[in-house]
Structure 1
Amino acid sequence: MDLIELGERVKATRKSRGWSQNKLAQAAGVSRARLEALENARLAEIGFKHLLRILNALDLDLRLTELNRGRPTLEDLIAEEAR
């Protein structure tokens, strides 16, 4: 997931709660301009602290997992289907 996708998820979650950008920015302790830039993919870097504040205000969290661990690749799926 990249910053653009994170911004889209933040925006969708905020809207599903009926919150304005001002309300979320205030709850997260960040500027509305920073939040607006994140939601509209106009922010190259937000900073981890600010991102966590926004996610926590929405009851979202960030999880780390090992990349593709235990997940089949496209080649694995094709080989399985060919059997």
Structure 2
Amino acid sequence: MDAIELGDAIKAARKAQRLTQAELALRVGVSRHTIMQLESNTYTDLGIRKVMNVLTALGLSLQVGPSKLRRPTLEDVYEENERERREREAEFRKGRVR
């Protein structure tokens, strides 16, 4: 689950419980702005305790598992650049320059 999915899950659970952002914020002890930032993935730095308190208040939990995303290696980037270069050369030879 990424930050966007987390925010969507929090928003969906809040709405399912017919809570406003202000009501949830009051339950958790944070500002409504914090709830809005969490739901819209616009926060710059939000502590894990705040996130856990919001999840607990909504009856949700956070599970940790292997990442679905991995950062590309230098080799990955090189191979991607080479593939794109070959595609551009092939298009150039066919007279279709990008």
- Taking structure 2 as the reference length, the TM-score comes to 0.62
In structure 2, what is the Cα distance between the partners aligned to 1:21 and 1:56? 15
- Taking structure 1 as the reference length, the TM-score comes to 0.73
For 1:49, give the aligned amino acid: R
Indicate the residue corresponding to 2:65 in structure 1: 65
For 2:20, give the aligned amino acid: S
Q: CA deviation at 1:43?
A: 1.3
Q: CA deviation at 1:44?
A: 3.3
Using the aligned pairs only, state the percent identity: 37
Indicate the residue corresponding to 2:42 in structure 1: 42
Indicate the residue corresponding to 2:6 in structure 1: 6
CA RMSD of aligned residues (A): 1.5
For 1:40, give the aligned amino acid: S
Q: CA deviation at 1:65?
A: 3.5
SS in structure 2 of the partner of residue 63 of structure 1: coil
SS in structure 2 of the partner of residue 22 of structure 1: helix
Indicate the residue corresponding to 2:26 in structure 1: 26
Q: CA deviation at 1:66?
A: 4.8
For 2:63, give the aligned amino acid: R
In structure 1, what is the Cα distance between the partners aligned to 2:3 and 2:50? 13
- Please, which runs of 5 or more residues in structure 1 have no aligned partner? 69-83
Deviations 1:21-43 (A, max 9, x none): 01111111111101101111211
Q: Decide which structure has the larger Cα Rg and report it.
A: 2
Alignment pair present for 1:51 and 2:51: yes
Q: CA deviation at 1:2?
A: 1.3
Runs of 4+ in 1 over 2 A off after TM superposition: 64-68
Q: CA deviation at 1:67?
A: 5.6
Deviations 1:13-67 (A, max 9, x none): 1001110001111111111101101111211331101000100000111122356
